[in-house]
Structure 1
Amino acid sequence: MALDFVAGCLGGVAGVLVGHPFDTVKVRLQVQNSNQPRYRGTVHCFRSIIRQESIFGLYKGIGSPMMGLTFINAIVFGVQGNTMRYLGKDTPLNQFLAGAAAGGIQCVICCPMELAKTRMQLQGMGEYQVKSKVYKNSLDCLIRIYKKQGICGINKGMVTTIFREIPAFGFYFLTYDCLTRALHCEPDDSYIIPKLLFAGGMSGIASWISTYPIDVIKSRMQADGVGGINQYSGIMDCIRQSYQKEGWQVFTKGLTSTLLRAFPVNAATFATVTLFLMYTRADDDCKELETASASAIQQHSSL
C-alpha cells in the first residue's frame, strides 16, 4: 500500500520536470487578451518567453507543482491502488471508478497549487498589470492571497477543478489499463519501457481531451482578479463572456501546447510509477520466497 504512494511521488517529480514549460505556455495562451493577443501560437509563445524572460521564464511557478504534485501523485496513485483493491476485480470500469475517486480527492491540494502556479506564470504579462514581480515564490503567493481573501481565496476555482479532475482521472487510468492490456506489457518483455511510455503518453492525451474546455474556464477563473480587475461573476458568466467574445475556439486555446506536454509528462509519470512498483514488488516476492524456503529448511532440519 505504501509503495503506491512512494511510486506516485517519484512519478510526479519526473512529470513536472518534463512538462512544466509546456504548462506555462498553455496558461499564457489560455488567459491572454483576445483583443490584443500577445502570442500568435504555441511556438511563438515559447520563443517570446525565452527571448524576454530567458529559459527560466518557462519554469515560473514550478515550485508549486513540484511541491504539490509530490503529494498529489502520492494521493492519486495511492487512492487509485487502494480503491482497486477494495473493488476487487481488475476491470476497465473499476479502473475508471478508482481513477475518478482519486481525481476527486486530490482536488484539495490541486486547486490551491494550480492557483499559485497560474498567478506566478502570469507575472510579467502587461494585460494583467503584473509587470513587476509581485510574488517571491508559490508559497508567498498563497500566503498573500490567504491574508487578503482567506480560505475561499486560496480555493478559487475549486468547483471547476472538481468538474475537471473526476472524469479526467477516470479516463486517465481507464486508457492506461486498456492500452497496457492491448500491448501485453509484461515484466520480462524486452520492449516494456517503450510500451509503458506510449501507454502513459496516450493516457495523458485522452485525459486532457476529455475535459480541456473545463480547464480553460478554470484558468480564467483563477486568473480573474489579478491586478484588482474582476471580469466574471461566476462560472456560467465566464463561459458566456468567453464564448461571446471569442467563439467556440476559446475552449481549445492552448490545446496544442497541452497535448505536446501531456505525452512526455504522462509517459514519464506512468513509466516511472509502473517500473518502480513492478520491480519493488518483484523484490518483495523474492524475499517472501526466500523467507518461506529458509523456514521450510529449518523445519525439515529439526525433524
Structure 2
Amino acid sequence: MDFVAGCIGGAAGVLVGHPFDTVKVRLQVQSVDKPLYRGTFHCFQSIVRMESVSGLYKGIGSPMMGLTFINAIVFGVQGNAMRLLGHDTPTNQFLAGAAAGAIQCVICCPMELAKTRMQMQGTGEKKSSRRLYKNSLDCLVRIYKREGLWGVNRGMLTTLVREMPGFGVYFLAYDVLTRGMGQEPAERYMIPKMMFAGGMAGIASWLSTYPVDVIKSRLQADGVGGVNQYSSIADCVRQSVRKEGYMVFTRGLTSTLLRAFPVNATTFATVNLVLMYARRAEEGPTDCESAQHGHHTQIQQQPSSL
C-alpha cells in the first residue's frame, strides 16, 4: 500500500512542481552571452507568452513514466535499510536515505536526461519548427541509437553526487522536524504538520546539493543541436565559473525553492490521505490510526522528483 500511495503522491507532486522545474532548467542552461530570461518570473512569463501554458509542462512524460519504479526503489530500499540498521535515529535516517538515493539513480538519471532534453526543445517557440523528439520515450530511444548506453546515462556521476546526500538530508530533516513538532495519530493538525515538515525538508535537501544540480543539468543539456560544449564534469565546472563566476551555482535556485515546498507538501498530504483511507477501509478507524502512526517515518518522498 505504501508503494501505491507513494506513486499517487509522487504524481500529484509532479503536476504541481513541473512548471517550476522547467523554469529552473531553462535558467540553468541558458547562454550567458545571449540570455533569453532575466530571472525566474520573467522566464515564467516568457514561456507562457511564447510557448503557451503547455510550454511549462514540456518533458512531464518522463518523470511521470519513472515515478512507479523510482518510488518502488526508494520506499523499498529506505525501509529495508532502516530495518537492517535496527534503530530509528536521525543518523540512520540519513544513511537509509542516502542508500535509497544512490540505488534509484538507475532510473532517475535517464528519466531526467529525457526531461531536460524535452524541456529545452523548442525554446522560445510557440510551435517548434524543428522537433527532435516526439516524446520522452522517443528521446531516450534516439539518444540510445546515437550514443549507446553511455549516452542514455549521461550525467550519472553528478546524479549520484546529488541524490545520495540530497536524500540523506531530506530524510534527516523530515525526521528531525516531525520529532520536534510531535505527531500524535489523532491530532487535529497532523496533516498540516506533515505538509510543513515535508516542504521544509525538500527545501533543505535542495539547498544542500543545488550546485551539483546546475552542473548535472548543463551536462545533460549539452549536445542538443549536435554541438558538445563540455568534455567532462571538471571542464563543465571550469567553463561555467570562468564565464559566469561562482554565482552560476545559484542559477534557477529561486524557482527550485518555490517548487520544493508545495511539491513535497502536496506529496506528503496525498500519500498520507491515501494510506489513511486504505487502512480505514481494511482495518477500521482505530487500527488505521495506529498503523498510520507506526508508519509515519516511512512515508517520505524523494526531492529529484523534487
1:249 corresponds to which of 244, 247, 250:
247
Residue number in structure 1 paired with 2:25:
27
* Residues 171 and 207, structure 1, Cα contact 8 Å, conserved in 2: yes
Within 5 A, what are the aligned runs for 1:60-71? Answer: 60-71=58-69
* Residues 4 and 78, structure 1, Cα contact 8 Å, conserved in 2: no
Moved more, 21-30 or 269-278: 269-278
Residue number in structure 1 paired with 2:184:
186
- Equivalent residue letter for 1:237: D
- Equivalent residue letter for 1:47: Q
C-alpha RMSD over aligned residues: 2.0
Q: Give me the whole-angstrom Cα distance separating, in 2, the residues matched to 1:5 and 1:94.
A: 21
Within 5 A, what are the aligned runs for 1:212-231? Answer: 212-231=210-229
How many pairs were matched up?
A: 285
* Residues 14 and 269, structure 1, Cα contact 8 Å, conserved in 2: yes
Q: Give me the whole-angstrom Cα distance separating, in 2, the residues matched to 1:195 and 1:117.
A: 32
- Equivalent residue letter for 2:24: K
User: After the TM superposition, which parts of structure 1 deviate over 6 Å for at least 4 consecutive aligned residues?
Assistant: none
Residue number in structure 1 paired with 2:71:
73
- Equivalent residue letter for 2:177: L
Q: Give me the whole-angstrom Cα distance separating, in 1, the residues matched to 2:33 and 2:88.
A: 50
Q: Give me the whole-angstrom Cα distance separating, in 1, the residues matched to 2:9 and 2:81.
A: 19
2:34 is equivalent to residue 36 of structure 1? yes
* Residues 161 and 215, structure 1, Cα contact 8 Å, conserved in 2: yes
Q: 1:44 deviation in Å?
A: 0.4
Residue number in structure 1 paired with 2:16:
18
SS at match of 1:225: coil
Residue number in structure 2 paired with 1:88:
86
SS at match of 1:226: coil
Q: 1:288 deviation in Å?
A: 11
Q: 1:284 deviation in Å?
A: 5.7
Q: Deviations over 1:116-153 (max 9, x none)?
A: 00000001137xxx862111000000000001111111
* Residues 84 and 94, structure 1, Cα contact 8 Å, conserved in 2: yes
Q: Give me the whole-angstrom Cα distance separating, in 2, the residues matched to 1:6 and 1:184.
A: 26
Residue number in structure 1 paired with 2:303:
none
Residue number in structure 2 paired with 1:292:
none
Residue number in structure 1 paired with 2:194:
196
Moved more, 164-173 or 261-270: 261-270
Q: 1:280 deviation in Å?
A: 4.4
2:96 is equivalent to residue 98 of structure 1? yes
1:109 corresponds to which of 107, 113, 122:
107
Q: Give me the whole-angstrom Cα distance separating, in 1, the residues matched to 2:31 and 2:41.
A: 18
SS at match of 1:164: helix
The two structures have a TM-score, normalised by structure 2, of 0.88
Q: 1:285 deviation in Å?
A: 5.7
Residue number in structure 2 paired with 1:294:
none
Q: Give me the whole-angstrom Cα distance separating, in 1, the residues matched to 2:219 and 2:152.
A: 12
* Residues 123 and 131, structure 1, Cα contact 8 Å, conserved in 2: no
Which runs of 5 or more residues in structure 1 are unaligned? 290-303
Within 5 A, what are the aligned runs for 1:260-275? Answer: 260-275=258-273
Percent identity over the alignment? 73
Q: 1:32 deviation in Å?
A: 0.1
Q: 1:281 deviation in Å?
A: 5.1
Q: Give me the whole-angstrom Cα distance separating, in 1, the residues matched to 2:184 and 2:92.
A: 21
Q: Deviations over 1:195-237 (max 9, x none)?
A: 1111010010000000000000000000111111111110001
2:45 is equivalent to residue 54 of structure 1? no
Residue number in structure 2 paired with 1:293:
none
SS at match of 1:228: coil
SS at match of 1:85: helix
Residue number in structure 1 paired with 2:162:
164
Residue number in structure 2 paired with 1:177:
175
